[in-house]
Structure 1
Amino acid sequence: MLAVRSLLMGVLWASAWPLYLAAIAQVARLGPWPKATGALAATVLNALAIGLFARVLGAWFFKPGGWCERYLVTPPSVTRQFRYAGRLLIVAAMALLVPIHLFANGEISHQGTAVTAPALSRFLFLAFELIVLASLAYHLRPGSPLMTWINPDVPTAGEPEPGAEGAAAAPVVVVSRQPFGSVGEAWVTWCCRRARMIARLMVAFGVVVVILDVRGYGFASSRLAMGGVESLGVFALSWAIHRVVARLIAWRLRADARTNRLWASAASLWSARARGAHAAATAPGAKPAEPVDWTLRASRASTFTIVLLAVAMLGWIWGIDPALLDFLSKQPLPWKAAGGRQVVLGDVALSLSAAVTGVLSWRFMPAILAFALFRRLPEDPGVRYAIVSLARYAAMALAVTVALQAIHFDLSQISFLLAALGVGLGFGLQEVVSNFICGLILLLERPIRIGDTVSVGGTTGKVDRINTRATTIINGDNQCMIVPNRELITGKIVNWTHKDKIMRVAIRVVVAHDSDVDGVTSLLLTIAKSDFDVLSRPAPSAALEELGESGMIFGMSVFVADPGLMGGAKHRICKAIRERFAMAGIALASPMREITLAGLPEELTRLIGDRRIRGDEAESSPRGPHQAVESRAAAGG
């Protein structure tokens, strides 16, 4: 919107002095002097007003750092080229076209007789055409800044061409940005790569116009010249609108994303303060979710719309008469619809238009909803995916219905066929139809959402996509598990993140029987609270669960904000328990086993006794009483 306001202010500023000249021209036309003199002065003043307006507006529009460079993001060299070309054409028009207008309307008279001078008028118009042709050829030459900017293969500043090391640096034109922005469509790239050929065709078109005028075909030359100028104006206007709309889309989506991030940050901070987990937002290794490039999709949709409007305007410029289209649309086709209604060419065109509209709606639905609806919704990929899927199905169903009605296709005439088809689907494609219906239920009821962590059939993974037939789940080994939607509706699944993403991490610790219970419990809680991924609400807990054979078994439960944090939190807590317990002198228990060896040979008994005498046991590391292993060997006779 800032670009539009700035453009309006520039137009108002450029029209100040021309309005004064137009007022003076009106006064000159109504003055007390002869009418012919007043008309001549008024025409000259009006022409000067138009020329001055074009000159001032062009100077403001193409000045360094002006509207063109700021909002259309054109390089300074290209803007300078446009500025010089505009000045030349304005001067040529004022010097050559204004006299032609005066001669053609008889406003120049001698002794009461109007001077027409057709030969001079034709010579002046031919001179203007030659100036325009020369300017077109000069500015569309291969090495001009405009052609360099359009060509996508020209390296930008600071990007040397391959094989140029050690060679003399060739002058490189600074290319700040491609003329179509971030739209990476193949047809746009194809046209830009053939910009030289298109430039030659434009110059050849100008040469044809001049030759026709020289040969005496003035009407054909004028018609082609006006059509070419108007077509060039449509192209320039469409390009400018595309650039402004692209910037508007990018600004709007950035503003909405910034607002959503602010609200999400405020909500997360409030929640973190309530849970005491400020550091969870800045945990090392945490990667933000990669956003979908809605800007590019919306830009492509706007490009397609602008191209369609430009094509319609070009058709009107080059004389595609609406009456001709109406005549063609009423041409009958060699078949009739149900009920004897005649199908005409317009019905088929409407049906194809509805089908194409449905396909385009299916493709660009995410971009349309991103610009119109998603900026008002929270950042929830599951909600957005469900809305996009349902909107696509609705748009396609509407397009199919309109396409069939356009060609007068009556579904009641084939009701028996649809019934038979329904019975066949009920028996042969029962599972497919069931999975499709279950897919719609999943999108509407949303028992599972995109990004949820679920357990199905003994496998745990994250929901990646919900299609019409099956749902894709990615497990911890990065393997895709395709689950039919019917199993997710009729079977039992565990959705770990259905309510929220807070998960519990359970850790069991076995310490010696002679350890202080309160000291162990307090140390475990201290370790849990010191980890940056552990939430304070729900609060961590630690308690003595049971007295085991080898030691006292303590259970500790902590909570993290996301399932992806469970592994890292458990690793850090276990490592901290081992280190802090060693510093506090709390021994971790090992299992105690009593082994009784009976019926051993006398040689083996004597060998065991010899090893004990040699001091093998003394050389080993000392063991605490909780780690002692009692071994008794009894020889049975």
Structure 2
Amino acid sequence: MAQPCAASGSGRKRRLILSMTVLLRSCLVLLFLTMAGALSPALHAQEAPAPAAAAEAPVVDEQTAAWLAFATRSEELIADPTTRSERLEALRSELATWRETFLEAQTANGLRITTLREQIAALGEAPAEPATEPAEIAARRAELNEQLTRAQAPGIAAEEAYRRADGLIREADTILRQRQASELVARGPAPANPASWAPAAGVFGKWVTDLWAETERSWANPARRKAVTDAAPVLVIELLIAIAMMWQGRRLIQRWIARLQARVRPVWWGVIELPLSLTQVALPVIAVAVLIAAFQRTGFGGMQIRAIAEAAVPATFVFALTTWIAGHIFPAREHLTTILPLPPERRREGRILVTLFALAGAAETLFAAALSSERYGEYAQLLLYPFTLLSGLFLFRIGQLLRHALIAPPEGEALSGFAATVVTLLSRAAMVIGIAGPLAGAAGFLTLAESTVRPAMVTLGVLALVTLIQRLIYDLYALVTRADAKLARDALFPVLVSSLLVIAAVPVLALVWGVRPAELTEYWSTFQDGFKLGDARVRPMDFILFVIIFGIGYGVTRLMQGALKTSILPKTTLDTGSKNAIVSGLGYVGIVLAALAAITSTGLDLSSLAIVAGALSVGIGFGLQNIVQNFISGVILLIERPVAEGDWVEVGGVQGIVRGISIRSTRVETFDRNSVIVPNASLISGQVTNFTAFNQTGRVIVPISVGYDSDTRKVQKILQEIAEAQPMVVLTPPPSVLFVGFGADGLNFEIRAILRDINFSGSVKTEINHQIMERFSAEGISIPFAQREVRILNPEALPVPAPATEPPAPPLAG
């Protein structure tokens, strides 16, 4: 139990730094190996094939021998339960480097293997009886098979080595996770047990004694004492500057920013305020870093003093950044946009709580750096429990503030939707962890308490920082697009960028909650390795390359369509339908070519999927036959153009103007301004009336009836004059007036005229009817209309109405 408890929070941080260092070295080794692998074919290409093979053989054997020795040593270390976790982390990083090397080597000689397979296939299938095959072909087949076996050997060996390295990495990860879990639930001295107080006090006294002894030894050294006295004036000045930057620098910067706001346009202020305010973080950190650097140059102090000095700059940065976040989440100035709907007194309380938490965290960092030595035993971690207790209380109170933002927000500022749900979950989690964490620590589970309280507070800080950056993105989008701030928050582009920002914060939160960097690297490597599709391996970078190339091809296609539509086609004599068909056809061809270019650029060999695709196409053909039918019909519409955009058509009892022809359907806009989606197959297989197929001319028929006492010759003459007087009516051929028959109520005539534009048929009919009414009224020609005569067959059966009674006399005025 002593070993887990002795590994304090500072020790875990140092192991994290060590892991990142090893990871960086591994990446550099991998980069070197990759570059060497990329350059070696070009170098060997300048030599003769036989000498190149002879020169490479020892190198390959040397690498194989090195790997076998390293793998054997790794298996022994992994099997040894006394191997330290730091050594396992370093070992795992080296194994990951080897694994990446073997993964790249699996595709060695890929082009050569493909060529050999094609050569063997060109010889045809081997006969069942080898004796029947000609000797030359049989010898050539055997030679090619032997070459193929030699070319495949490095890839097979690399795959076997890859499996071995991958298995060793999984074993190391399992052991590290088990140790991490054991350390998390390990129980040490309980702060709630009075028996633990005396040993803890002894550890504290020993630490103070050691610190004082280090100081005395350093001061007793004449060279170090002289260096300190010589640098004392500079150290004092820098110390005063650092203190001023810590306590007064923020206020000075806030005043400067407030003065600057009056000179900056409001549309720019949301973009520049957040970056400018970061000087509140930078100045104190720079001041403390200069002070620590000057102190370290003196060489004063021992191991503990140097550890405190090294932790001073990170502690200052955490304190400054935390207070900066608090100043934006709980702003003191009313003109700043508030993220949480809280009244001013609650915001002030939030700033104080976060500042106290940052101060406690900075003090814990410095104290833990001095107590990181294992010689103080398991009671050293107990001395850090007061900081965990204070952090838990602050976390619980912040959770209550978040809850207050939900139940009692200022008028008109209430949270709603997804934001309210997130704040609700965060408030509940903060209150639960703020109570459960310190209680667990009081019972002796100090590592568990430290691993829950502080990560919970850091999680709130990370989410707050992400929220501030999201607000900056919205303000920047509003500035660039000159849109309103509310509209910018609902726009698609900033929402997508904000979503990517949230996704990028997930690995950070994973590290905060104890996930090892090596595990994240493993997940990332697995993601980058992709998956196998046939004989090809599809990686995320291949998909990104596919999207980029397809996007470029799509953009070029749209650019060519725009140029063709606006610059070239208007100068031709083609009609509108032909122009639209050419533009659409160019778009389809461009998209297909862009997709083919994108697939080819990724290097995917989809030939092995041809059989599977053929089998799927049969099922898809049956299931999507209607869609395929409409697609083919759309292509026919674009080629034959029986219907074009802008035509007046009637299909399925619907009349309207064709507004768009797509691959699957055609959109017809009725005269009521309704859109009717007509499947393309209906336009090809069904009956369609196109009133403006080749030109805009069309015939209009206006029926009219007159009384039987009318002069038919006179009526015909009047109607002829009215038709010829219309400006939209074509005079060649001239309009005609027909006496079509004898109706039940009158004599029936029809005016038949050709219009220059059939789209004006309604207005022409209206004008003709107006003029007919005017002329017939002037000429005394009657227009018959139906009349009804109501006859009562048995009036005696109707009830006799009661006699009307006289109304009462009004009262006399008296």
Q: State whether TM-score is above 0.5.
A: no
Q: Which TM-score band applies after superposition, normalised by the shorter structure?
A: 0.3 to 0.5
Relative contact order: is structure 1 or structure 2 higher (C-alpha 8 Å, sep ≥ 6)?
A: 2
Bigger Rg, structure 1 or 2: 2
TM-score by length of 2: 0.33
TM-score by length of 1: 0.41
